[in-house]
Amino acid sequence: MSDLVTAPPALASEPLITPRKTFADVNADVSRPIERKPGMLWKVFFGISLLLTLQFFMEIGYQMYKGIGIWGLNHPVGWAVDITSFVFWIGIGHAGTLISAILHLFRQRWRTAINRSAEAMTIFAVMTAGLFPLIHMGRTWFGYWLVPYPNWRHLWVNFRSPLVWDVFAVTTYLTISIVFWYTGLIPDFASIRDRSTGWRRAIYGALSLGWRGSERHWQHYERAYMMLAGLSTPLVLSVHSIVSFDFATSLLPGWHTTIFPPYFVAGAIFSGFAMVVTLLVILRKVFHMEEYVTLQHLDNMNKIILATGMMVGYAYATEFFVAMYSGNPYERFTFINRATGPFAWSYWIMVSCNVLSPQVFWFKSLRRSLPVMFVVSILVNIGMWFERFTIIVSSLHRDFLPPNWSYYKPTIFDYSVIVGSFGFFFMWFLLFCRFFPTISIAEVKSVLWTAKKTEAGPKERAHAHEAVHAP
Amino acid sequence: MLLDRFRRPKPTRAILALYDDPDRLLNAAALAKEHGFQGMDAYTPYPVHGLSEVLGIRKSWIPYVTLVMGLSGAALGLTFEIWTQAFDWPINIGGKPMISLPAFIPVTFECGVLLGGTMTLAALLLACGLPNLNAPILDRNLTNDRFGLYIPEYGPDWNEQRIMKVLKTTGAVDVRVLRV
């Protein structure tokens, strides 16, 4: 196997996948968690997330019975942890689409080992996010009023409202993410089908829809996948822009600003990549995927965290500058109040976690250190949650008239929905790790060393062709 | 493509050559093409680039579906918004015009993406004839580490011995005749 040693020079320094792996190894390694009984660690994590999910739904049940007054909401602060968590979870999802669609269009082939789990993260994050506007409505059972449907009142939803845009953006995002994810899964389900027997073969066979890997089908498949990536790219940018319109189209100082769409999108990618790093550091360890999700992948993601973290920091500075420069006293007050008022603690948690902590990634050794990146990724997640909390609560709690002012104090039910949403998200993610191929089998094969040879240009192929004909 | 399926008589036999390397498959496909074998297909665990050119498989028409359906979705979304807001039940909201185009753009865009994306998947399934759970699995390793060249019986000049003889020179791990 001399060709394994003489690798293409561009890749010689850093293989995408550890070079010893063969095609058959990929199938065996990725299918292993599906074919074995789960380990103790998985069971413990799953048990905890299941319990958190149960208390989440109990809280939702009680809140539907009693009303949203059980949360700490009060007169000026009508939006708090519910909308904070909604924006947080939608943002988490964005990294998945960025990895799967945008990096695909830019031919960043390192994405192949991580796109499946990142896309799964997107779907579960958007599912979690979608619960929050529903429970926040109070009368959750009227959730279908958000959808324009013919009804006896002959009324339609107001399409000029950003809250209706949100409904369309989030449902489209969830649907297209699932379509994209499932399209990627079809060949891998077929791989699992072909190595299984009995009920597993039947189930994965049905999921694979009877895929056989015909070249005629691959031809359609690759084009369709490219089209979906092309559609998802503007979609992901639109979703968080529309989420930011919920705030930006209002007149509240601190919300009413044109910087919001790019600022929200950068923040979403920032937090999403942090969540991907958190999940992958655990996943590669628990399921022994270190040879697929290498330090190079994590290094690349940490670079993106550093870059987007600085964009977010720049946006914080711009907001302050514009508030000062606008000459609008309400705007100025809101920002001074943000940094020095009753919610200053939240503001400074946000700044230190989001702007300061990623700075360690300037150093290569720290970008490649698993404990450092794990801690930073969690700090970034905390910081990004508090960013949304700061934007929402600190802008609301002191609005135009001082008699309206108040403070927001979360109750036990607020805490319950926060931890509950994490439980709900991790429950789905753990189920995914157990039953679905967490790495794209077909895509990883195309970046293996053994496959690299086929990337030769037409000239080399013509030579090979002649060699066959010579004798 | 869809029409090809009806044009040719349904084959009863086919030859499948298995390779352990995508390069060998590419070379074999090129050789087979040169010998004039028709209706060839390949079965591979991942898309091997350059193979469809060698086999003479036409480029997919799915992008047109995405384009047309994406534009239709956007048009439908915008029409629906204008109809509901300005004609079916016009309501003056904040003095905005009945047809407030800028405010209608986000939903227009989302409708375009929604229809374009879902129809792309539908077109993919249609183009590949999926779901097709009864399709015979030619070899279990074709989704693992084997690359198969598939030559179905294509007409009166289909010569089993000749094809087998040619394929045996291409470094195949296995060449077999299948009853299909």
pLDDT digits (tens, 9 = 90+) for A98-108: 888 888 888 88
Provide the shortest C-alpha distance from residue B147 to chain A (in Å).
10
Question: Given the DSSP bridges, would you call strands B13-19 and B174-179 parallel, antiparallel or unpaired?
Answer: antiparallel
Question: Given the DSSP bridges, would you call strands B41-43 and B147-152 parallel, antiparallel or unpaired?
Answer: antiparallel
Provide, rounded to the nearest whole percent, the portion of chain A with pLDDT above 70: 91
What is the pLDDT, as a whole number, of residue B73?
A: 96
Using the Cβ of A217 and the Cβ atoms of chain B, whether some distance falls under 8 Å is answered with yes
Q: Pick the more confident residue, A441 or B8.
A: A441
Residues of chain B in contact with residue A205, where contact means CB-CB under 8 angstroms, are 133
When pLDDT is averaged across residues B115-127 and rounded to a whole number, the result is: 95
The complex scores an ipTM of 0.91
Domain A2-450 adopts which CATH fold?
Answer: Formate dehydrogenase/DMSO reductase fold (1.20.1630)
* Two tokens, residue A175: 């649907």
What kind and span of H or E run contains B32? helix B22-34
Q: Is pLDDT above 90 for A36?
A: no
Using the Cβ of A21 and the Cβ atoms of chain B, whether some distance falls under 8 Å is answered with no
What is the pLDDT, as a whole number, of residue A186?
A: 94
Mean pLDDT of chain B: 87
pLDDT tens digit sequence for A267-298: 999 999 999 999 999 888 888 888 888 888 89
B131 and A209: CB-CB below 8 Å? yes
Q: Is pLDDT above 70 for A316?
A: yes
Q: Is pLDDT above 50 for B24?
A: yes
pLDDT tens digit sequence for A325-338: 988 999 999 999 99
Of A160, A191, A223, the CB nearest to B144: A191
Provide the shortest C-alpha distance from residue B28 to chain A (in Å).
8
Q: Is pLDDT above 50 for A31?
A: yes
B117 and A180: CB-CB below 8 Å? yes
What is the pTM assigned to this prediction? 0.90
* Closest chain A CA to residue B47: A218
When pLDDT is averaged across residues B14-25 and rounded to a whole number, the result is: 88
* Closest chain B CA to residue A214: B43
What is the pLDDT, as a whole number, of residue A40?
A: 87
Provide the shortest C-alpha distance from residue B176 to chain A (in Å).
17
pLDDT tens digit sequence for B59-70: 899 999 999 999
What is the pLDDT, as a whole number, of residue A6?
A: 44
Using the Cβ of A155 and the Cβ atoms of chain B, whether some distance falls under 8 Å is answered with yes
Confidence of residue B6 (pLDDT cuts 50, 70, 90): low
Confidence of residue A172 (pLDDT cuts 50, 70, 90): very high
What is the pLDDT, as a whole number, of residue A169?
A: 95
What is the pLDDT, as a whole number, of residue A401?
A: 87
Using the Cβ of A156 and the Cβ atoms of chain B, whether some distance falls under 8 Å is answered with yes
HSE on the CB side for A50, CA within 13 Å? 8
When pLDDT is averaged across residues A424-453 and rounded to a whole number, the result is: 84
Q: Which of residues 325-364 of A touch B (CB under 8 A)?
A: none
A159 and B62: CB-CB below 8 Å? no
Least confident of A55-59, A330-334, A354-358, B160-164: B160-164
Using the Cβ of A200 and the Cβ atoms of chain B, whether some distance falls under 8 Å is answered with no
A175 and B114: CB-CB below 8 Å? yes
Provide, rounded to the nearest whole percent, the portion of chain B with pLDDT above 90: 35
Q: Is pLDDT above 90 for A8?
A: no
Residues of chain A in contact with residue B131, where contact means CB-CB under 8 angstroms, are 206, 209-210
Confidence of residue B2 (pLDDT cuts 50, 70, 90): low
A154 and B91: CB-CB below 8 Å? no
Tell me if A72 sits within 8 A of A407, measured CB to CB.
no
A238 and B106: CB-CB below 8 Å? yes
pLDDT tens digit sequence for A123-166: 999 999 999 999 998 899 998 888 898 888 888 999 999 999 99
Domain boundaries, chain A: 2-450
A446 and B30: CB-CB below 8 Å? no
What is the pLDDT, as a whole number, of residue A14?
A: 56
Name beta bridge partners: B175: B17
Q: Is pLDDT above 70 for B115?
A: yes
A223 and B21: CB-CB below 8 Å? no
What is the pLDDT, as a whole number, of residue A19?
A: 61
B127 and A24: CB-CB below 8 Å? no
What is the pLDDT, as a whole number, of residue B125?
A: 94
Of B108, B85, B106, B88, nearest to B97 by C-alpha is B85
Provide the shortest C-alpha distance from residue B100 to chain A (in Å).
7
Preferred mutation among B60, B66, B173 to probe A, highest tally of A CBs within 10 A: B60
Tell me if A387 sits within 8 A of A354, measured CB to CB.
yes
Q: Is pLDDT above 60 for A453?
A: no
Q: Pick the more confident residue, A343 or B156.
A: A343
Using the Cβ of A165 and the Cβ atoms of chain B, whether some distance falls under 8 Å is answered with yes
Q: Any idea which residue has 């060949």 for tokens?
A: A187
What is the pLDDT, as a whole number, of residue A311?
A: 94
Mean pLDDT of chain A: 87
Of B44, B57, B131, the CB nearest to A213: B44
Who contacts B26 (Cβ-Cβ below 8 Å, separation ≥6)? A454, A461, A464, B48, B50, B51, B54
* Closest chain B CA to residue A445: B46
Q: Is pLDDT above 50 for A457?
A: no
When pLDDT is averaged across residues A194-212 and rounded to a whole number, the result is: 91
What is the pLDDT, as a whole number, of residue A462?
A: 47
B42 and A214: CB-CB below 8 Å? yes
Please, is A470 exposed, middle or buried when counting C-beta atoms within 10 Å of its C-beta (0-12, 13-18, 19+)?
A: exposed
Q: Pick the more confident residue, A17 or A402.
A: A402
Domains of chain B (ranges; CATH) run 11-58+136-179 (3.30.70.120), 62-128 (no CATH)
Amino acid occupying residue A45: F
d(CA B159, CA B152): 11
Preferred mutation among B18, B124, B125 to probe A, highest tally of A CBs within 10 A: B124
